Amino acid sequence: MNHAYSMPLLFLIRSYQVIFPFVRLLFGVQGACKYPISCSEYASIALKEFGALEGTKLAFYRLMSCHSFNKASD
């Protein structure tokens, strides 16, 4: 399985992980992930393990089950 198609997606996810905390501070957005592993980290792992197509599908399902303004998991 060729994971070369995953590289641009991984770059976008990493960019989001670096930029988003600053955006949250700038706009005062509060919220927490309800899962122990953030959706972006989950997407990154899924892309690395399953490739672009299946990894994107898994990340999409994870995002659809997530609501970023829920309380964080304990």
Domain that holds residue 13: 6-65
Evaluate if residue 73 carries a pLDDT over 70.
no
Whole-model pTM? 0.76
Tally of structural domains, the chain:
1
Q: Which residues of 4-25 are buried (b: 16+ CB within 10 A; e: fewer)?
A: eebeebbeebeeeeeeeeeeee
Q: What is the pLDDT of residues 15-61, one digit of tens each?
A: 988 998 887 788 777 666 778 888 889 999 999 999 999 999 999 99
Place of tokens 């997606």: 9
52 inside domain = yes
74 inside domain = no
Per-residue model confidence (pLDDT) at position 74 = 44
57 inside domain = yes
73 inside domain = no
Per-residue model confidence (pLDDT) at position 26 = 83
53 inside domain = yes
pLDDT band at 2 (very low <50, low <70, confident <90, very high): low
